[in-house]
Structure 1
Amino acid sequence: MEPILDIATVVRSTGVTSRALRFYEARGLIRPLRTASGRRAYGSGELARLDAILTLKRAGFSLSAIAAMLADRKADLGNQVAARLAELEIRAAEIAETRLLLQTTLSRIDRGEPIDVATLCSLIRCGDETMSEEKWQAVVDRYYGPGEQQHWSDRKALLPADFDPKAYAEAWKDLGARIEAALPLDPASPRAQAYLAEWRALLEPFTRVASPEMMAGASRLYDRMDEWQSEVEAPFSSRVWAFVQAASATAG
């Protein structure tokens, strides 16, 4: 007869907390049996699935990726592994940049430079900004040729002299976060159209100087956010972008 374990025994034998087991169950990753009294009971099949979950988690796979792999015996593991490797390469580059920054800072301290916490924070922020710019440039290089990028640069020169890129980027993040918090939202509703009006007003500095080709190119870039949003910090999510497109279609 197949051994059946209660949740307390599984916790003791695996080291997984009962809370984690319930979370995996809520996500559909495991499906324990129920006793007549309603208590969870784990057979060999669920224990094998739990072992697979924990093993794949050690390699850094997300729970959604693990669910997809366990749900389909013919799952394309090549794509899943390649995606995970790409994530690790990005993380490795970030770690290498941080390590170099800290080594350089330590060398300056060893030379007697008076570096305090505020200076260290400034150095880290500068490093983060540089890495972010390099990542965005890599994405831009993937979707725009040199001529198109030069066209963008020429047009951006037409922006007002007092244009503040950092403040503008923060305004986009704020709007994106507020729309995200409001979703789901009927695109035709007054509230949705108010968000759309705010979106268009924020976009106005660029619509004023951008050519139709530039605007179309930007739309194509964000239509393909799923291809690059894990590489850089976008000002809004693909969910927000899809909402704005739907609200725009409703507004005409």
Structure 2
Amino acid sequence: MNRLMAIGEMARAYGISVRSLRHIEACGLITPSRSEAGRRYYGHKDVTRLGRILLLRRAGFTLRQIAAMTASLPPDPLALLDAQIALLEAQQARLATTLGEVRSARRLAGKGHDLDLDSLCHLIREGQSFMERKVMQPVLDRYFTPEDQQRWKEAGDMLFPPDAQTDYAARWRDLIARVEAALARGVSPDEAEGQNLCREWLQLLEVLEKIMGSETVAKTGRMYAEMEHWQTPERRAPFSPAVRDFIAAAARAGRDGQGGAER
């Protein structure tokens, strides 16, 4: 007998949020059956189809592209499992390569050999990049739909490439450092310096909004507003809660000031 899964059970089985699962359904990629009360239930075909969809998402395809690719393809559990094996083996091979490089460098350093600075930076960056993707994925799934995550990936590849520092990334790092310095000096958010820092912050956010849309940027704001709930020693935001609160207070002070001037 084909057992049916409720929406929460289906989401937990695949390690995604219920919101993401509903978004996939809204895009027409999966159509669960409904009870008389309107509850969603998923059967064997839904399970295999969702597995294929998520596999293609991890490979970098958008939901629109996946819809076109899977429109005429019947669920094939064997093909899905083979593709999953191939993807995991590729990830395993990449991790093994990176781990081998780091171990080799460790042996050389242990023997007193100086490492080339560029090579050392490359190894550290590769290891950090691999770990950061793994530890942040549950957070991303909580706040963003698969489509949102694809937009973030495209924006990140352009604005925050792992092997370089763009002018945009440098401006963010410099601004965060200056906000931290202002906090250390006791600058108030409603002072001129605090207002100037806030304006710079909002200008940088405008760049993201043009690329990803205001809705995705708003979700990003909610994620950072709740950073205390998901941060761990391994999973860190690019700025502290104190920096976030300072900018939020400066933005409120700026709006209040404008309102007072108009009255």
TM-score normalised over the length of structure 2 = 0.46
TM-score normalised over the length of structure 1 = 0.48
Q: Return the index of the structure with the highest Cα Rg.
A: 1
